[in-house]
Structure 1
Amino acid sequence: MEKDKGSNGDWHRELVENLARDALVERRRARRWGIFFKLLTFAYLIGVLVVLLPNDWSEKGMGVKPHTALVELEGMIAPGQKASADNVVTGLRDAFEDKNTKAVILRINSPGGSPVQSDYMHSEIKRLREKYPDIPLYAVVSDMCASGGYYVASAADKIYVNESSVIGSIGVLMNGFGFVDAMNELGIERRLMTAGEHKGILDPFSPVSEFDREHADKLLKKIHKHFIAAVKEGRGDRLKGDEETLFSGLFWTGDQGIELGLADEVGSAGYVAREVAGAEDIVDFTAKEDALTRLADRFGAAFANAFTRSSGMQGGVQFR
């Protein structure tokens, strides 16, 4: 009997020890999983934070001493693009409003684009220069500053170029294609129905009437005059040479542009910051969209383009 009792005690003790050991293992496992999920949540929050923060937040935050602000105008000037007025104007405002900005460089590499977007930027540069008279704005041309790009640049205090930059193209265009003869050859009938006598003006599948030509010509000349007036206001007496040549839509190299008064000197962004502005440190204030905004904008742009193609509304006036 004593022996049986001892065996029973050992059995109970072993059972308790096993249960305690299993509970301890389970608690350790739960702790590990808890740590894993906490780390996973932390990594997720960090990822969301990185996506939502602007790409240039750290660089701007470091601008705590006198610096030269940089804003990029790159690519085709058009709404919804990198070189849209919204993006460029946002960067310029941030640059001028920073208390440590000593000068602003607008670095341009653009073939031109929308007259409206170009005018928005031109007007905002004039406003900011008046509001902050002690902060000069310099346009620095890299590869190209043509048409709408030059429209924007003409509002700057000075324009710097590379000898091999392309500058000028002060003109306006409206382009498209005509398929009338091809349709006749193929025996295709164009069925265009409109409400409004001239709603189908410049339709690529219909002959161009004299009225169409005259109306488009008046429109282009009016926009061209506005372009010329802006350039004359910005460049003033610095312009040289024959106006018919300057405003003909021709373009020139950077050194030729200096001779014609379209630009002032040869110089890069680094040179201007160091030698002209006297603040060698450059802080980039170019507006950069976060990933979620870019995704939404691209979806919206794709939808708009699809609608434009399906409705036949294509083309437009451009500074190019």
Structure 2
Amino acid sequence: MADQFYAKPVAPSSASASPIPPTPASSGAPEPPQVAYAEPPRKRRWVVPVIILALVAVIVFSIASCTNALMGGSAVETSQPNTVAVIDLAGTIEYDGTSCSPEGLKYLLDQAESDPNIVAVVLRVNSGGGTATAGEEMATYVREFSKPVVVSSASINCSAAYEISSQADYIYVAQTTEIGSIGTIMQSIDYSQLLELLGVDVTNIASADSKDSSYGTRPLTEEEIAYYQDMVNQINDVFVQNVVDGRNMTEVEVRALATGLPFTGTQAIENGLADEVGTREDAIAYAAMLAGIRDDSYSTKNLQISQDSLYGLLDLLSSSSSNTSITAADLAAALKELNENDGIAQ
């Protein structure tokens, strides 16, 4: 796209910028009137850089606000005396910054630990599991927490979620809860036949023969399958040992249940993986009792990660922008000016 310029018309020799009245013609032919064109208004060349700088400042402030809220930089809301905190573990156990992640659960447990008015914690679990390492870390945080922890199981409490739950002082279930599924799985998908069917040739250049074993471009060798099986067994041993320690069971008892299959809540009570059928409210009342509160003089408080998603950032941007002098019209004018100048701010 060619650069665009405004052509400035040549002004008459007169110092006045107003139209010059026609002089009487010396000949019979009338002289065409002279017209003076008004100079195009000067563009507000400062608008674009000012708006860009202001928006950058707002974004930086908003990100700082999000981080501050997430990491507890602002004052934490004071709890009432004898409070039972409720933490939801709903979703996949993984490293995503939510309460279903090691960093998220640790942050919430630290809040409960440091608040003298919080006497116990209830984990409301509705998760089918997730990654082994995240489950192991979160189980450690629950085990090391100094105040009573009671689990309230919703529809599903399996695999890594159950590993975490096993470290609590007591586990409630519904009769129809799916719970347990003690086991570990690693998948390797072989796409080599599909690639061959599609006529795709893949060349792996690796420093060792097994470096490409997880890429799916060739079948695993027997040695590699045996190697990965041993790795899965070692990871599963950690899971089993956590259940042994958390549920005060023998290794023989736990391994007999570690088939990878889930149990109903009723079955889990019978085999020792859970304690009692009850609701969320039952779990809260029992947690208060474990903390020494023998009546109903307790309150509840939901602990959750402050909103730090894109939507939260946009909300902060919106609220922060209302305190500035930048308007939508200014932004529209700036964008229009950028467009007219081929994307170059002048």
TM-score w.r.t. length of structure 1: 0.68
Where does the alignment leave 5 or more consecutive residues of structure 1 unmatched? 1-43, 130-134, 297-320
**Residues 7-55 of structure 1: CA deviation (Å, up to 9, x unaligned):** xxxxxxxxxxxxxxxxxxxxxxxxxxxxxxxxxxxxx9xx979x75749
Q: 2:186 is matched by which residue type in structure 1?
A: M
What is the CA–CA distance in structure 2 between the aligned matches of 1:186 and 1:287, rounded to whole Å?
Answer: 46
2:33 matched residue in structure 1:
none
Q: 1:117 aligns with which of 134, 141, 164?
A: 134
1:274 aligns with 2:285: yes
1:159 matched residue in structure 2:
171
2:106 matched residue in structure 1:
89
Structure (1 or 2) with the greater helix fraction:
1
**Residues 86-108 of structure 1: CA deviation (Å, up to 9, x unaligned):** 11111111112211112111111
1:261 aligns with 2:272: yes
What is the CA–CA distance in structure 2 between the aligned matches of 1:105 and 1:73, rounded to whole Å?
Answer: 10
User: Would you say the 8 A contact 2:151–2:283 is kept in 1?
Assistant: no
**Could you say which structure has the larger radius of gyration?**
2
Q: 2:301 aligns to what SS in structure 1?
A: strand
2:160 matched residue in structure 1:
148
Q: 1:293 to 1:92 in 2, by over 3 A?
A: farther
1:290 matched residue in structure 2:
308
What is the CA–CA distance in structure 2 between the aligned matches of 1:66 and 1:245, rounded to whole Å?
Answer: 40
What is the CA–CA distance in structure 2 between the aligned matches of 1:249 and 1:196, rounded to whole Å?
Answer: 33
User: Would you say the 8 A contact 2:81–2:298 is kept in 1?
Assistant: no
1:61 matched residue in structure 2:
77
Q: 2:93 aligns to what SS in structure 1?
A: coil
Q: 2:145 aligns to what SS in structure 1?
A: helix
Choose 216-225 or 89-98, whichever is displaced more. Answer: 89-98
Larger RCO: Structure 1 or Structure 2 (Cα < 8 Å, ≥ 6 residues apart)? 1
Root-mean-square deviation (CA, aligned residues, Å) is: 3.2
User: Would you say the 8 A contact 2:62–2:313 is kept in 1?
Assistant: no
Paired positions, count:
245
User: Would you say the 8 A contact 1:106–1:140 is kept in 2?
Assistant: yes
TM-score w.r.t. length of structure 2: 0.63
Q: 1:258 is matched by which residue type in structure 2?
A: I
Residues 88-237 of structure 1 aligned to structure 2 (within 5 Å) = 88-129=105-146, 135-237=147-249
Choose 138-147 or 78-87, whichever is displaced more. Answer: 78-87
What is the CA–CA distance in structure 1 between the aligned matches of 2:313 and 2:212, rounded to whole Å?
Answer: 35
Q: 1:204 to 1:60 in 2, by over 3 A?
A: same
What is the CA–CA distance in structure 2 between the aligned matches of 1:295 and 1:186, rounded to whole Å?
Answer: 44
Residues 9-20 of structure 1 aligned to structure 2 (within 5 Å) = none
Q: 1:250 to 1:59 in 2, by over 3 A?
A: farther
Q: 1:142 to 1:241 in 2, by over 3 A?
A: farther
Q: 1:219 to 1:128 in 2, by over 3 A?
A: same
Where does the alignment leave 5 or more consecutive residues of structure 2 unmatched? 1-57, 315-346
User: Would you say the 8 A contact 2:125–2:151 is kept in 1?
Assistant: yes
Percent of aligned pairs with the same amino acid: 26
Q: 1:179 to 1:101 in 2, by over 3 A?
A: same
